[in-house]
């Protein structure tokens, strides 16, 4: 018997992997153009928040086996920070959006306008 | 001595003879030869010496699995050791020689090891040289390390050149729809079918010719193989001499293209090799299969090779490798070769381990006068150097018994075929043992990868074509979504099934039967490993080093697994196999590094004043990626002379220094003030327009990130400078804050480091210099331009500029920034005034001397472990506002009194010198980790002796007046020092206001 391949979806704009990250501003680029930020789910407390909150935000991290939101910067490209929803075990990327909420909204309505 | 070359046939060009040297002797071959085929044609018998026993070896195969003919090619800086002669294309002037032998491969003194063979079994060295007195006289593993050096010299591979690689290499990237690995019948069919449906296909082939196994048939040169041009006109991109050495996540393939390894005089513009990163959507692995050996006595002797290899030498290279040939097989694949060798004039005897063969085959063979003996197998090769005879065993129940001895000059072996499943193994696919075909097959892959041809266990070339077409059908189905009917040929295809046979041995006979000839692993080594408890295949591999040579087990792994299974009383499927990892064949370090070598290893950054500095006798040094002036030597001056003079001159009159490498960031927007007030530890809310302020940035965790100045140019615009080292991280950090945390702030940051050239004008005469250089001298007088003032004005010759009155040297000083292209003109202007005043140009060394005198911190001190208090800058930490790091800098650990604090250091004997990096210890406890360390030292022209900066637990308060030693045992020995204030010159900063 030969190898029977499992079907994969066709290469579309919204599929990207660790090897290629689909920058919302530049398009698909090699991951080596990006630099990893950190856990995007961390809410940094106000600057005058109690030490416990800052300790939690700065030092406590989940070591997630599965899907997590993380920040990346397109350092060698547009320099924009993006939020990448990535599976840490398969490197599969489920979604990408600009980290800046205002820009994310503007981009979404921009794309909506085109359709 | 007559050659073995036939008068006709083969795919060599007899019109293009090639001269090459083997061990210094001139030999000839033809265009189209490999080094191996040419050596066989020239009747070179011994080509290599084995790794451990120094046994003579010769060509064993015709491919990448070669484990005998391993040679050194080239000379001088182009010496390439461990080249498989079977893969080296012949070219005019090629120099090849044997390796791991002295004085030569034919007469090798190291061969004495072979006589000691019974002592050199698996684990011998460890058992003998580790831990056994009296050999372990030394302490710990010290003695072992000594023996190991001797052992390594006796064993081993060829020796690499120690000269720099003269060739260059390239990295390249490519994309395609379908990657087809291997251009045999299956690969060519797959590539053609996929291209026909409009897919973008790349076909890679490690050989220089297309055709794969087809090349080894009598019709290898005919139209049965399409040309590269034909394939390319049908839309296939063909890459020959290219190995797909690894498959990686998400359809990334690593390829190495050997561009000039076959050329006598490679043109300089061509890279030697190209390292390709290929991104595909679908991969078809049609990498073929490798014929296995069978283990029997002396099966590594020159004159034993695979049956398929002999067929290749005969049909492709027109070389008859023997005249009196015995072929030993356990499957059908050897028959065609037997017929062809007989037709070419050899006497052929065929031993088939099976009890019977098909009538059709029997008829074919006997028609050619080939004697066929069923139920027989090779037992031991006889003859000291070359093969003289073969002792033959006859099947006896489930075992063997010695039967007869037959003279011969070549023994060909076919022990079955191992599909090349390596690339699937790279993707995590566990190969499954197929006991009917006696091979591992990759049966399930979750990724868009198909396997075709003999790589999928399909043995006949017609079936391979169908298998390739089916794989193309898979690709089309996945990529185009078309559902086509795909017909797959079945696995196998021989008339008579294979009889699994891994080793031939008879009771009571000690034989030296090799499994992994490259690492000299024998069947007895496997059994020894089993007796000693290394029963897992992973342990077996590591204990015996089976499969760890450059062929990575292509030659012998299966036999090793089979013998371990036999010893354990298990099936091979239960024993499993080790994992193949990339690369499939060795990849040169040169290809991996590509162009990232020498001056291309990392980017080179030059300031706009670079040429100007060089024109003015500047000696440059590296500061990160930057080239910065180090010192400006005058006649006969050394570095030490020059920097002392520069520092003295600057403190007395004026000095100019290129400070362009500082990071420069434009911070703009209505919330810019608020933003800076949050990122700097000191107050920025009330900085007036036209003023600059020194600022410290902390990280979230409260440690110091960077320091610099920010100049307020307008209500909404600041010009920030950072240290040279942290320019890029600070920029990314500000972007992160604005985009991920404070998206409500209306601020934009832009790196303008490249846009501005920076010149420090320092010293008591600096104002006089500026007055002479600006269009409006009044704007720089003390009243209009006080300490920490900022002006935007115009230098003479219409040079726009911005100037701040800030000082790193501790003198009255200014930083002048002009648009980069004006840099040299501005420098000409400033130097034109400074030079007649007795001023100087100064470099990084004098700059460092002056900043150490002043106790100013740089990257050497701000190393990511230091708090703002540690650096002696506690007054810069605002208590009236919150900022990044303001909470966590108060953690108990960061506020301990005994933390290392910045201090100045004097040698107790002022004539002494000491080194940066020395450890500071209390004079009575010079051991352990000490109490601190020295970050920077200089000769202080101002003080007339050496001084340093460093950190010591508790700082000046704890150590004032105490005896301290700068411990530097491996470089300079220990020096008695005193701890002083870091502000060693002008502690009150009076000069700044001059």
Q: Which domains does chain A have, with CATH numbers?
A: 16-44+51-114 (3.30.2270.10)
Q: How many residues comprise chain A? A: 115
- Please tell me the predicted confidence (pLDDT) of residue B144: 58
Residue B527 belongs to domain with CATH number: 1.10.10.1100
Listed residue (B11, B64, B12, B58) closest to B39, CA to CA? B58
**CA–CA gap between residue B195 and residue B969 (Å, rounded):** 69
Q: Which residues on B lie below 8 Å from A48 (Cβ)?
A: 882, 886-887
Q: Are residues B111 and B244 in the same domain?
A: no
* DSSP assigned state of B687: P
- Quickly state the pLDDT bin for A12 (edges 50, 70, 90): very low
Q: Which residues on A lie below 8 Å from B701 (Cβ)?
A: 58-59
- Provide φ and ψ at B707, rounded to 5°: -130, 165
Report the pLDDT averaged over residues B643-657.
97
Instruction: Report CA-CA distances (Å) from B475 to A49, B244, B283, B288, B564.
Output: 57, 19, 8, 19, 39
3-state helix, strand and coil shares in percent for chain B, rounded to the nearest 5: 25, 30, 45
Q: Which residues on A lie below 8 Å from B447 (Cβ)?
A: 5-6, 8
Q: Are residues B3 and B61 in the same domain?
A: yes
Q: Are residues B644 and B788 in the same domain?
A: yes
Residue B714: count of CB within 10 angstroms of its CB: 11
- Please tell me the predicted confidence (pLDDT) of residue B171: 95
Asked whether residue B146 carries a pLDDT value surpassing 70, the answer given is no
**CA–CA gap between residue B225 and residue B192 (Å, rounded):** 12
Q: Are residues B183 and B273 in the same domain?
A: yes
Q: Does A81 touch chain B (CB under 8 A)?
A: yes
Beta bridge partners of B720: B665, B710
Listed residue (B198, B449, B413) closest to B295, CA to CA? B413
A3 contacts B444? CB cut-off 8 A: yes
Cβ-based neighbours of B764, under 8 Å, separated by 6 or more: B651, B652, B653, B654, B811, B812, B991, B994
Question: What is the residue range of B385's domain?
Answer: 293-415+495-512
CB-closest option in A37, A71, A102 to B743: A102
Alpha-carbon gap: B740 to the closest alpha carbon of chain A (Å): 5
- Please tell me the predicted confidence (pLDDT) of residue A5: 39
Q: Does A52 touch chain B (CB under 8 A)?
A: no
- Quickly state the pLDDT bin for B484 (edges 50, 70, 90): confident
- Please tell me the predicted confidence (pLDDT) of residue B398: 86
B449 contacts A3? CB cut-off 8 A: yes
Q: Which residues on B lie below 8 Å from A18 (Cβ)?
A: 249-250
Q: Is there a contact between B296 and B380 (Cβ–Cβ < 8 Å)?
A: yes
- Please tell me the predicted confidence (pLDDT) of residue B249: 86
Cβ under 8 Å to B: A residues 86-115: 91, 98-103
- Which of B36-50, B93-107, B339-353, B427-441 is predicted least confidently? B93-107
- Please tell me the predicted confidence (pLDDT) of residue B577: 83
Q: Which of B171, B250, B456, B473 to mutate to test the interface with A (most CBs of A within 10 A)?
A: B250
Q: Which of B887, B888, B889, B893 to mutate to test the interface with A (most CBs of A within 10 A)?
A: B887
- Please tell me the predicted confidence (pLDDT) of residue A91: 85
Q: Is residue B105 part of a domain?
A: yes
Question: Which residue in B has a C-alpha nearest to residue A17's C-alpha?
Answer: B250
**CA–CA gap between residue B565 and residue B470 (Å, rounded):** 35
Cβ-based neighbours of B653, under 8 Å, separated by 6 or more: B763, B764, B765, B834, B837, B838, B839, B840
Q: Which residues on B lie below 8 Å from A21 (Cβ)?
A: none
Q: Which residues on A lie below 8 Å from B481 (Cβ)?
A: 10
Q: Is residue B605 part of a domain?
A: no
CB-closest option in A3, A50, A81 to B451: A3
Q: Which residues on B lie below 8 Å from A38 (Cβ)?
A: none
Q: Are residues B114 and B5 in the same domain?
A: yes
- Quickly state the pLDDT bin for B1 (edges 50, 70, 90): very low
Residue B905 belongs to domain with CATH number: 2.40.30.110
Burial readout A44-72 (b: 16 or more C-beta within 10 A, e: otherwise): bbeeeeeeeebeebbeeeeeeeeebbbbb
pLDDT digits (tens, 9 = 90+) for B589-636: 999 999 998 888 889 999 999 999 999 999 999 998 999 999 999 999
Q: Is residue B861 part of a domain?
A: no
Alpha-carbon gap: B166 to the closest alpha carbon of chain A (Å): 29
Q: Does A42 touch chain B (CB under 8 A)?
A: no
Asked whether residue B948 carries a pLDDT value surpassing 80, the answer given is yes
Residue B98 belongs to domain with CATH number: 3.10.20.440
Listed residue (B364, B296, B303, B301) closest to B334, CA to CA? B364
Question: Which residue in A has a C-alpha nearest to residue B483's C-alpha?
Answer: A7
Q: Which residues on B lie below 8 Å from A103 (Cβ)?
A: 739, 743
- Which of B568-572, B770-774, B795-799 is predicted least confidently? B568-572
Q: Is residue B982 part of a domain?
A: yes
Question: Which residue in A has a C-alpha nearest to residue B279's C-alpha?
Answer: A19
Cβ-based neighbours of B21, under 8 Å, separated by 6 or more: B27, B94, B95, B96
Q: Which residues on B lie below 8 Å from A76 (Cβ)?
A: none
Beta bridge partners of B289: B419
Model-level pTM greater than 0.90?
no
Q: Does A5 touch chain B (CB under 8 A)?
A: yes
Q: Which residues on A lie below 8 Å from B883 (Cβ)?
A: 47
- Provide φ and ψ at B329, rounded to 5°: -140, 165
Asked whether residue B582 carries a pLDDT value surpassing 60, the answer given is yes
Residues of chain B above pLDDT 70, percent: 95
Torsion, Cα B107 B109 B111 B116, to 10 degrees, reads 160
A2 contacts B456? CB cut-off 8 A: yes
Distance of CA B210 to the CA centre of its chain: 30
pLDDT digits (tens, 9 = 90+) for B384-398: 778 999 999 999 988
Q: Is residue B877 part of a domain?
A: no
Q: Are residues B41 and B90 in the same domain?
A: yes
Question: Which residue in A has a C-alpha nearest to residue B750's C-alpha?
Answer: A79
Instruction: Report CA-CA distances (Å) from B159 to B545, B548, B741.
Output: 20, 18, 57
B882 contacts A100? CB cut-off 8 A: no
From B161, B180, B198, give the residue that closes a domain. B161
Alpha-carbon gap: A8 to the closest alpha carbon of chain B (Å): 7
Query: Which ipTM did the prediction report?
Result: 0.89
Q: Are residues B194 and B50 in the same domain?
A: no
Beta bridge partners of B391: B380, B405
Straight-line distance from the first to the last Cα atom of chain B, in angstroms, rounded to the nearest whole number:
96
Q: Is residue B488 part of a domain?
A: no
Q: Which residues on B lie below 8 Å from A15 (Cβ)?
A: none
Exposed, middle or buried, A109 (CB in 10 Å: 0-12/13-18/19+)? exposed
B668 Rama class: left (phi>0) / alpha (psi -120 to 50) / beta: beta
Residues of chain B above pLDDT 90, percent: 83
Q: Which residues on A lie below 8 Å from B282 (Cβ)?
A: 5
Q: What is the CA radius of gyration of chain A?
A: 17
Mean pLDDT score of chain B = 92
Q: Is residue B251 part of a domain?
A: yes
Q: Label the pairing between strands B56-57 and B48-49.
A: antiparallel
Q: Are residues B936 and B962 in the same domain?
A: yes
- Please tell me the predicted confidence (pLDDT) of residue B356: 92
pLDDT digits (tens, 9 = 90+) for B917-931: 999 999 999 988 999
Asked whether residue A79 carries a pLDDT value surpassing 60, the answer given is yes
- How many CB pairs (< 8 A) connect A and B? 114
Name the packing angle between helices B557-568 and B523-531 (round to 10°): 40
- Please tell me the predicted confidence (pLDDT) of residue A115: 36
Q: Which residues on A lie below 8 Å from B458 (Cβ)?
A: 2
Written as one string, the DSSP assignment of B428-450 is TPPPEEETTTTEEE----SSSEE
Asked whether residue B115 carries a pLDDT value surpassing 90, the answer given is no
Q: Which residues on A lie below 8 Å from B451 (Cβ)?
A: 2-3
Asked whether residue B128 carries a pLDDT value surpassing 80, the answer given is no
- Please tell me the predicted confidence (pLDDT) of residue A45: 97
B738 contacts A5? CB cut-off 8 A: no
Q: Structurally, how many domains does chain B consist of?
A: 7
Q: Are residues B503 and B520 in the same domain?
A: no
**CA–CA gap between residue B983 and residue B124 (Å, rounded):** 65
Q: Is there a contact between B553 and B546 (Cβ–Cβ < 8 Å)?
A: yes
Q: Which residues on B lie below 8 Å from A4 (Cβ)?
A: 444, 474
Q: What is the largest CA-CA distance in chain B?
A: 115
Q: B351 is written with which tokens?
A: 């031993």
> Which contiguous run of DSSP H or E holds residue B959?
helix B955-959
- Quickly state the pLDDT bin for B53 (edges 50, 70, 90): confident
Q: Are residues B556 and B702 in the same domain?
A: no
Q: B968 is written with which tokens?
A: 């530097």
Cβ-based neighbours of B372, under 8 Å, separated by 6 or more: B350, B352, B357, B362, B365, B366
Asked whether residue B125 carries a pLDDT value surpassing 90, the answer given is no
pLDDT digits (tens, 9 = 90+) for B277-334: 999 999 999 999 999 999 999 999 999 999 999 999 999 999 999 999 999 999 999 9
Alpha-carbon gap: B380 to the closest alpha carbon of chain A (Å): 38
Residue B576: count of CB within 10 angstroms of its CB: 18
Report the pLDDT averaged over residues B246-268.
94
**CA–CA gap between residue B728 and residue A35 (Å, rounded):** 12
Q: Are residues B34 and B119 in the same domain?
A: yes
Report the pLDDT averaged over residues B370-380.
96
Determine if the peptide bond prior to A80 is cis (ω within 30°): no
- Quickly state the pLDDT bin for B127 (edges 50, 70, 90): low
Helix, coil or strand: residue A108? helix
Asked whether residue B989 carries a pLDDT value surpassing 70, the answer given is yes
Which residue shows structure tokens 């073929």? B288
CB-closest option in A1, A19, A71 to B252: A19
Determine if the peptide bond prior to B885 is cis (ω within 30°): no
Asked whether residue B75 carries a pLDDT value surpassing 70, the answer given is yes
Cβ-based neighbours of B480, under 8 Å, separated by 6 or more: B197, B199
B887 contacts A51? CB cut-off 8 A: yes
- Please tell me the predicted confidence (pLDDT) of residue B100: 77
Beta bridge partners of B709: B694
Asked whether residue B433 carries a pLDDT value surpassing 90, the answer given is yes
Q: Are residues B932 and B980 in the same domain?
A: yes
- Please tell me the predicted confidence (pLDDT) of residue B136: 47
Q: Does A38 touch chain B (CB under 8 A)?
A: no
Burial readout B938-957 (b: 16 or more C-beta within 10 A, e: otherwise): bbbbbeeebbbbbbbbbbbe
Cβ-based neighbours of B426, under 8 Å, separated by 6 or more: B246, B247, B248, B580, B581, B582
- Provide φ and ψ at B110, rounded to 5°: -65, -15
Q: Is residue B869 part of a domain?
A: no
- Quickly state the pLDDT bin for A8 (edges 50, 70, 90): very low
Q: Does A9 touch chain B (CB under 8 A)?
A: no
Alpha-carbon gap: A92 to the closest alpha carbon of chain B (Å): 9
B335 Rama class: left (phi>0) / alpha (psi -120 to 50) / beta: alpha
Residue B760 belongs to domain with CATH number: 3.30.1360.120
pLDDT digits (tens, 9 = 90+) for B535-561: 888 888 889 989 888 888 888 889 999
A5 contacts B445? CB cut-off 8 A: yes
Asked whether residue A95 carries a pLDDT value surpassing 70, the answer given is yes
Q: Does A55 touch chain B (CB under 8 A)?
A: yes
Asked whether residue B344 carries a pLDDT value surpassing 60, the answer given is yes
Helix, coil or strand: residue B510? coil
- Please tell me the predicted confidence (pLDDT) of residue B548: 86
User: What value, to the nearest 5°, has the Cα angle with vertex B221 and ends B215 and B227?
Assistant: 90
Residue B474 belongs to domain with CATH number: 3.50.50.60
**CA–CA gap between residue B567 and residue B439 (Å, rounded):** 19
Q: How many residues comprise chain B? A: 994
- Please tell me the predicted confidence (pLDDT) of residue B969: 86
A5 contacts B474? CB cut-off 8 A: yes
Q: Which of B463, B727, B739 to mutate to test the interface with A (most CBs of A within 10 A)?
A: B739
Asked whether residue B448 carries a pLDDT value surpassing 60, the answer given is yes
């Amino acid at each position: 018997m030969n190898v029977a391949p499992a079907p994969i979806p066709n290469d579309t704009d919204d599929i990207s992997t660790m090897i290629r990250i689909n920058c919302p501003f530049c398009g698909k680029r090699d991951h080596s153009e990006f630099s990893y930020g950190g856990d995007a789910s961390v809410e940094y407390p106000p600057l005058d928040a109690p030490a416990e909150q800052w300790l939690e935000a700065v030092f406590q991290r989940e070591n997630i086996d599965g899907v997590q939101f993380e920040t990346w910067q397109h350092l060698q490209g547009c320099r924009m920070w993006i939020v990448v929803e990535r599976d840490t075990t398969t490197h599969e990327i489920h979604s990408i959006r600009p980290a800046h909420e205002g820009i994310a909204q503007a981009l979404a309505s921009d794309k909506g306008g085109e359709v | 001595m007559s050659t073995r070359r036939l008068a006709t046939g083969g795919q060599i060009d007899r019109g293009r003879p090639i001269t090459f040297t083997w061990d210094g002797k001139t030999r000839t071959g033809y265009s189209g030869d490999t080094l191996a085929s040419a050596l066989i044609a020239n009747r070179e018998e011994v080509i290599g010496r084995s790794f451990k026993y120094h046994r003579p070896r010769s060509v064993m195969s015709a491919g990448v699995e070669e484990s005998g003919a391993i040679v050194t090619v080239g000379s001088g800086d182009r010496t390439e050791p461990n080249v498989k002669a079977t893969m080296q294309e012949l070219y005019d002037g090629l120099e090849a020689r044997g390796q791991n032998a002295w004085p030569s491969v034919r007469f090798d003194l190291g061969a004495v090891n072979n006589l000691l063979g019974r002592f050199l079994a698996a684990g011998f060295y460890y058992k003998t040289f580790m831990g056994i007195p009296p050999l372990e006289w030394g302490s710990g593993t010290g003695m072992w390390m000594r023996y190991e050096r001797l052992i390594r010299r006796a064993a081993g591979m060829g020796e690499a050149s120690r000269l720099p690689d003269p060739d260059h290499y390239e990295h390249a990237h490519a994309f395609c729809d379908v990657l087809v690995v291997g251009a045999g019948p299956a690969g060519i069919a797959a590539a053609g079918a996929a291209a026909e449906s409009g897919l973008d296909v790349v076909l890679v082939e490690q050989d220089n010719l297309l055709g794969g196994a087809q090349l080894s048939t009598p019709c290898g040169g005919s139209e049965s193989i399409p040309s590269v041009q034909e394939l390319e006109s049908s839309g296939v991109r063909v890459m020959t001499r290219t190995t797909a050495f690894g498959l990686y996540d998400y359809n990334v393939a690593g390829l190495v293209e050997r561009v000039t390894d076959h050329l006598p005089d490679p043109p300089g513009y061509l890279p030697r090799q190209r390292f390709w990163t290929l991104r595909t959507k679908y991969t078809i692995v049609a990498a073929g299969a490798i014929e296995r050996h069978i283990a029997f006595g002396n099966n590594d002797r020159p004159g034993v090779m695979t049956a398929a290899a002999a067929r290749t030498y005969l049909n492709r290279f027109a070389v008859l490798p023997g005249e009196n040939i015995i072929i030993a097989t356990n499957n059908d694949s050897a028959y065609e070769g037997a017929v062809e060798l007989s037709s070419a004039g050899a006497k052929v005897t065929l031993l088939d381990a099976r009890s019977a063969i098909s009538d059709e085959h029997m008829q074919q063979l006997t028609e050619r006068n080939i004697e066929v003996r069923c139920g027989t197998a090779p037992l031991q090769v006889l003859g000291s150097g070359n093969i003289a005879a073969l002792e033959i065993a006859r099947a006896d129940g489930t075992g063997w018994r010695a039967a007869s001895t037959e003279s011969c000059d070549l023994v060909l072996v076919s022990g079955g075929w191992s599909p090349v499943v390596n690339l699937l193994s790279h993707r995590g696919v566990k190969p499954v043992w197929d006991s009917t075909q006696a091979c591992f097959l990759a049966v399930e892959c979750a990724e868009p990868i198909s396997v075709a041809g003999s790589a999928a266990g399909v043995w006949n070339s017609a079936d391979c074509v169908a298998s390739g077409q089916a794989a193309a059908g898979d690709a089309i189905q996945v990529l185009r979504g078309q559902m086509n009917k795909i017909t797959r040929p079945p696995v196998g295809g021989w008339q008579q099934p294979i009889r699994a046979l891994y080793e031939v041995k008879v009771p009571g006979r000690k034989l030296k039967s090799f499994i992994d000839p490259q690492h000299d692993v024998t069947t007895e080594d496997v059994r020894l490993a089993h007796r000693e408890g290394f029963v897992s295949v992973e342990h077996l591999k590591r204990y015996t080093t089976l499969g760890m040579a450059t062929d990575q087990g292509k030659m012998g792994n299966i036999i090793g697994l089979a013998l371990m299974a036999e010893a354990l009383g298990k099936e091979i499927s239960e024993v499993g196999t080790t994992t193949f990892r990339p690369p499939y064949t060795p990849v040169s370090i040169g290809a991996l590094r590509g162009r990232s070598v020498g001056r291309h290893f990392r980017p080179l950054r030059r300031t706009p004043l670079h040429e100007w500095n060089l024109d003015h006798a500047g000696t440059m040094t590296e500061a990160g990626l930057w080239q910065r002036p180090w010192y400006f030597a005058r006649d006969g001056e050394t570095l030490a002379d020059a920097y002392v003079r520069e520092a003295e001159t600057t403190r007395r009159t004026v000095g100019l220094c290129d400070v362009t490498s500082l990071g420069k960031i434009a911070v703009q927007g209505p919330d810019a003030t608020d933003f800076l007030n949050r990122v700097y530890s000191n107050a920025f809310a009330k900085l007036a327009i036209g003023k600059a302020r020194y600022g410290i940035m902390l990280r979230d965790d409260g440690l110091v990130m960077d320091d610099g100045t920010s100049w307020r140019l307008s209500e909404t615009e600041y010009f920030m400078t950072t240290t040279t080292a942290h320019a890029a991280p600070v920029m990314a950090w500000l972007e992160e804050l604005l985009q991920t945390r404070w998206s409500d702030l209306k601020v934009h940051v832009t790196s303008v480091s490249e846009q501005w050239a920076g010149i420090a004008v320092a010293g008591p005469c600096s104002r006089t210099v500026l007055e002479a250089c600006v269009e409006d001298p009044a704007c720089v007088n003390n009243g209009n331009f006080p300490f920490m003032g900022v002006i935007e004005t115009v230098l003479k010759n219409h040079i726009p500029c911005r100037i701040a009155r800030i000082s790193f040297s501790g003198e009255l000083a200014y930083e002048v920034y002009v648009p980069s292209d004006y840099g040299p003109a501005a420098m000409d202007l400033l130097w034109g005034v400074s030079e007649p005043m007795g001023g100087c140009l100064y470099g990084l060394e004098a700059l460092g001397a002056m900043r150490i005198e002043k106790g100013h911190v740089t990257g050497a001190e701000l190393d990511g472990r230091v708090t703002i208090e540690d650096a002696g800058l506690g007054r810069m930490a605002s208590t009236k506002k919150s900022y990044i790091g303001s909470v966590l800098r108060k953690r108990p650990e960061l506020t301990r009194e005994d933390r290392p604090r910045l201090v100045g250091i004097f040698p107790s004997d002022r004539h002494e010198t000491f080194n940066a990096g020395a450890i500071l210890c209390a004079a009575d406890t010079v051991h352990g980790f000490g109490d601190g360390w020295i970050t920077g030292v200089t000769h202080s022209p101002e003080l007339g002796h050496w001084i340093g900066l460093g950190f010591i637990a508790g700082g000046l308060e704890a150590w004032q007046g105490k005896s301290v030693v700068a411990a530097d045992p491996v470089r300079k020995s220990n020096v008695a020092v005193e701890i002083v204030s870091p502000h060693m010159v002008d502690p009150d900063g009076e000069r700044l206001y001059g």
